[in-house]
Amino acid sequence: MHDCRPLLEKTDFPGIRRGKLTTLQVNLGYLCNQTCVHCHVDAGPRRTEIMRRETVDTILEFLRVSDVKTLDLTGGAPEMNPHFRYLVSEASMLGVQVIDRCNLTILSEDGYEGLAEFLAEHKVEVSASLPCYLGENVDAQRGKGVFSASIEGIKKLNALGYGVEGSGLLLNLVYNPTGTSLPPSQAELQLAYKKELKERFDITFNQLFTITNMPIKRFGSWLISKGEFEPYMQQLKDNFQTSNVDGVMCRSLLSIDWQGYVYDCDFNQMLDLPLPSKEQTHLSELLEVEMEGAPIAIMDHCYGCTAGQGSSCGGAL
């Protein structure tokens, strides 16, 4: 795999600092039942990196002593971590809103029976990747058979009340472009998704989040192999919007890797880009540390969050 980091290090991206910390985004491991072309984590079925119980307990201790009210769980497939249900249950009892970044197909895998019901019981917000409402496009990006399994996963969640108005169970879908284009208008694409998915499959959801493909890890390597890395980076820079800088997720979020080390965002984590002026910081070192006002580590990939309508884990900015 091509290393993208040397191509990103020299940057003229504007310096940014942290605001109030509201969200802890935790990568529970790189193990996944899928292998997606656009994956910036390079996750897959053969990955062995999995967060241990002692690190999960450190996450819970941080939630107890901080003002963080949102726990955003990602992976890989976060549900494949053996401590997933323990973490969700304990965090929920602390009054923390849990988000599960679910690939939908995990809901139908052997060994994960009752997972959808568990999520509903704890009122976990589900953000699920579905890069298109057409099967051939999804399967081309995520693997043969993924689309049909994803639709079945949504139906299972709908049956429990997810995506149904007034249920309090939020189901958001996530769109990634299939190549080097920037996402279209989030509002317009959401209308198309709602119409097509209702008419074709009689399924519903709450919001659609559009996310720009980041030029790192598997997608970055693909760009380099196709000779598209520099043109893609130039496209991101040409579409830079100053107004998006204040809303980037790293200003209110900390990203935690499977070993408990801290980064400014999930993308910095994948680039092994630690907090500024530090080699590595473990979450246990920040239990009583005020982060507001601290500088944020930046490189050229940051243009991916500020191009066009902007991009974050919560969709367009």
Other beta carbons within 10 Å of 99? 21
Q: Residues 302, 201: contact at Cβ < 8 Å?
A: no
Output the average pLDDT for the chain.
Answer: 90
Q: What is the pLDDT confidence band of residue 35, given thresholds at 50, 70 and 90?
A: low
Q: What is the pLDDT confidence band of residue 37, given thresholds at 50, 70 and 90?
A: low
Report pLDDT digits (tens) over 147-175.
888 999 999 999 999 999 899 999 999 98
Instruction: State the Cα–Cα distance between residues 53 and 28, nearest whole angstrom.
Output: 10
Residues of the chain above pLDDT 70, percent: 93
pLDDT of residue 140: 66
Average pLDDT of the residues in 51-56: 98
Q: Residues 190, 208: contact at Cβ < 8 Å?
A: yes
Instruction: List the end-to-end C-alpha distance of the chain, in Å, as a whole number.
Output: 31
Report pLDDT digits (tens) over 115-144.
999 999 999 999 998 877 776 766 666 667
Domains located in the chain, CATH noted: 5-306 (3.20.20.70)
Q: Go through the chain and tell me how many residues it has.
A: 317
pTM recorded for the entire structure: 0.92
- Give the tokens for residue 115: 């997972």
Average pLDDT of the residues in 52-60: 98
Report pLDDT digits (tens) over 212-262.
989 988 888 889 999 999 999 999 999 999 999 999 999 999 999 999 999
Helices (H), 41-114: 53-65, 84-93
Check whether 33 has a pLDDT greater than 90.
no
- Least Cα distance to 203 among 162, 253, 247, 258 occurs for 162
User: Which residues, 6 or more positions from 82, have their beta carbon under 8 angstroms from its beta carbon?
Assistant: 50
